[in-house]
């Protein structure tokens, strides 16, 4: 059995997806899958062009040349090298070669990723490339690299521990291949997977716990150990508790709402409005860890005024926040009203990042802001199970 980089990458996201790849099962294409594929190809091409711009034409090549040439120092970079070693095969995006005498030959695999933060799975893919190169290049590379983002910032890391981890994952893939198809477990990765409809259909037939969402592997195993495998079974585990000032999230309550086809409301909404209502929404780039848009709608008895504040990149984030505060400072007793905890975290971060930006007003906004989802739990039910794929946010908020 030959494990390719495509199968290994799939296993890092979903065991079921890797198994289906191993067995050659064809999934249904989706727009997001095709879009991501095109984006990845375009980004890799631009990254390659940027990398070779600093090299002479004879110092790099594309394909799988004889190893004699890289070892003799003829190439400093080899792109799209197809490496096969002990049951694994990978198309290595880039191999960076260094030669300092016959005894000082070194090399390392490099991968290009469009995000600005390298995930653990990205590093494991570099380790997989190293395993595929191990047999034909006769030695394991000591370090791997990831070129991140459009600026191609280089992250360098040791491969020794990652190689051992990649070997264990390969063993798991091999062991799984000899067993029956693993049960479909719905994950965050599902919307961009070509097997989404197949897995969701099976999950609905089995009434699987993963239909609830926000269910960790640890929680699922804990329930399985108790003999609870379906949403219906979980619904019978809900036990009403005495009234408490602290309302806790309960998956069993969600399951009960689904089984009984009811909407459960825990606690009564209490809104304490004490000033001028400012409806507030924020958008950010989690990959680069900055906020790029603040939207506000200021309403009074007579009219509503809308504002949008933008930051083109992280260096403009402070200016965006200061401009927003200047507008809020001209409003009598502004009170922010928002939907969810994202804006709550935003206010806290702005106070920490820019303590000199009107600290009094910042503190006032934090203390008086209203999160419409903070005090009560709404569990929403869609009676027709066929609606679940389109409406996957049953939990509207806490």
Question: Which of 66-80, 209-223, 269-283, 285-299 is predicted least confidently?
Answer: 66-80
Domain boundaries, the chain: 3-177, 207-268+378-397, 276-371
CATH code assigned to 3-177: 3.90.320
Q: What is the mean pLDDT of residues 291-298?
A: 94
Q: What is the pLDDT confidence band of residue 308, given thresholds at 50, 70 and 90?
A: very high
Out of 23-27, 32-36, 209-213, 224-228, the most confident range is 224-228
End-to-end Cα, the chain, rounded Å = 48
pLDDT number for residue 167: 93
pLDDT at 384 over 50: no
CA distance 287 to 116: 6
pLDDT number for residue 64: 85
- Spatial neighbors of 129 by CB under 8 A, at least 6 apart, are 5, 83, 90, 92, 93, 109, 111, 144
pLDDT tens, 126-167?
A: 999 999 998 778 788 889 999 988 778 899 999 999 999 999
pLDDT tens, 65-122?
A: 877 666 666 788 999 999 888 889 999 999 998 866 555 678 899 999 988 888 899 9
pLDDT number for residue 166: 94
Q: Under DSSP, is residue 248 helix (H, G, I), strand (E, B) or coil?
A: coil
Cβ-based neighbour number of residue 80 at 10 Å: 15
pLDDT at 234 over 80: yes
pLDDT at 20 over 60: yes
pLDDT tens, 309-326?
A: 999 889 999 999 999 999
- Spatial neighbors of 372 by CB under 8 A, at least 6 apart, are 269, 271, 337, 338, 339, 340, 397
Q: What is the pLDDT confidence band of residue 381, given thresholds at 50, 70 and 90?
A: very low
CA distances from 157 to 94, 133, 167, 348 (A): 16, 17, 18, 33
Q: What is the mean pLDDT of residues 210-221?
A: 82
CATH code assigned to 276-371: 3.30.420
Question: Which of 269-278, 296-305, 324-333 is predicted least confidently?
Answer: 269-278
pLDDT above 90 coverage of the chain, percent: 34
Q: Which helix (H) or strand (E) holds 155?
A: strand 153-158
**Torsion on CA atoms 32, 34, 37, 43, rounded to nearest 10:** -80
For the chain, what is the mean pLDDT?
Answer: 83
pLDDT number for residue 216: 78
Q: Model pTM?
A: 0.75
Q: Which of the 8 DSSP states describes residue 180?
A: P
123 versus 394: the higher-pLDDT residue is: 123
CA distances from 243 to 3, 36, 257 (A): 55, 48, 19
Q: What is the pLDDT confidence band of residue 11, given thresholds at 50, 70 and 90?
A: very high
């Amino acid at each position: 059995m030959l494990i390719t980089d495509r199968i290994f990458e799939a296993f890092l996201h979903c065991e079921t997806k890797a198994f289906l790849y191993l067995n050659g099962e064809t999934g249904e294409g989706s727009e997001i899958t095709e879009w991501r594929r095109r984006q990845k190809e375009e980004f890799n091409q631009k990254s390659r062009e940027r990398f070779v711009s600093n090299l002479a034409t004879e110092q790099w090549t594309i394909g799988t040349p004889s190893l004699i040439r890289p070892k003799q120092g003829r190439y400093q970079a080899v792109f799209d090298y197809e490496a096969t070693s002990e049951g694994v095969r990978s198309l290595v995006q880039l191999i960076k070669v260094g030669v300092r005498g016959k005894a000082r030959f070194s090399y390392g695999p490099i991968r290009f990723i469009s995000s600005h933060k390298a995930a653990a799975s990205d590093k494991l893919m570099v380790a997989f490339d190293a395993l595929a190169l191990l047999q034909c290049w006769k030695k394991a590379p000591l370090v791997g690299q990831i070129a991140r983002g459009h600026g191609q910032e280089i992250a360098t890391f040791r491969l020794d521990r990652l190689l051992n981890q990649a070997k264990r994952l390969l063993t798991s893939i091999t062991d799984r291949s000899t067993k029956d198809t693993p049960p479909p477990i719905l994950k965050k990765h599902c919307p961009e997977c070509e097997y989404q409809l197949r897995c969701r259909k099976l999950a609905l037939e089995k009434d699987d716990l993963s239909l609830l969402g926000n269910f960790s592997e640890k929680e699922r195993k804990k329930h399985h150990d108790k003999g609870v495998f379906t949403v219906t079974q979980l619904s019978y585990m809900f036990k009403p508790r005495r009234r408490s000032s602290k309302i806790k999230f309960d998956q069993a309550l969600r399951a009960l709402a689904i089984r009984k086809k009811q909407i459960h409301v825990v606690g009564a909404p209490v809104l304490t409005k004490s000033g001028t209502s400012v409806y507030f929404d924020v958008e950010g780039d989690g990959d680069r860890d900055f906020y790029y848009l603040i939207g506000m709608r200021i309403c009074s008895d007579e009219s509503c005024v809308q504002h949008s504040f933008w930051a083109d990149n992280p260096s403009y984030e402070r200016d965006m926040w200061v401009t927003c505060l200047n507008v809020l400072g001209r409003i009598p007793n502004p009170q922010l009203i928002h939907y969810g905890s994202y804006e709550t975290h935003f206010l806290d971060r702005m106070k920490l990042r820019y303590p000199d930006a009107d600290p009094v007003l910042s503190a006032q906004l934090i203390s008086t802001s209203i999160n419409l989802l903070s005090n009560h739990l709404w569990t929403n039910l869609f009676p027709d199970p066929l609606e679940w794929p389109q409406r996957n946010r049953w939990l509207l908020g806490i």
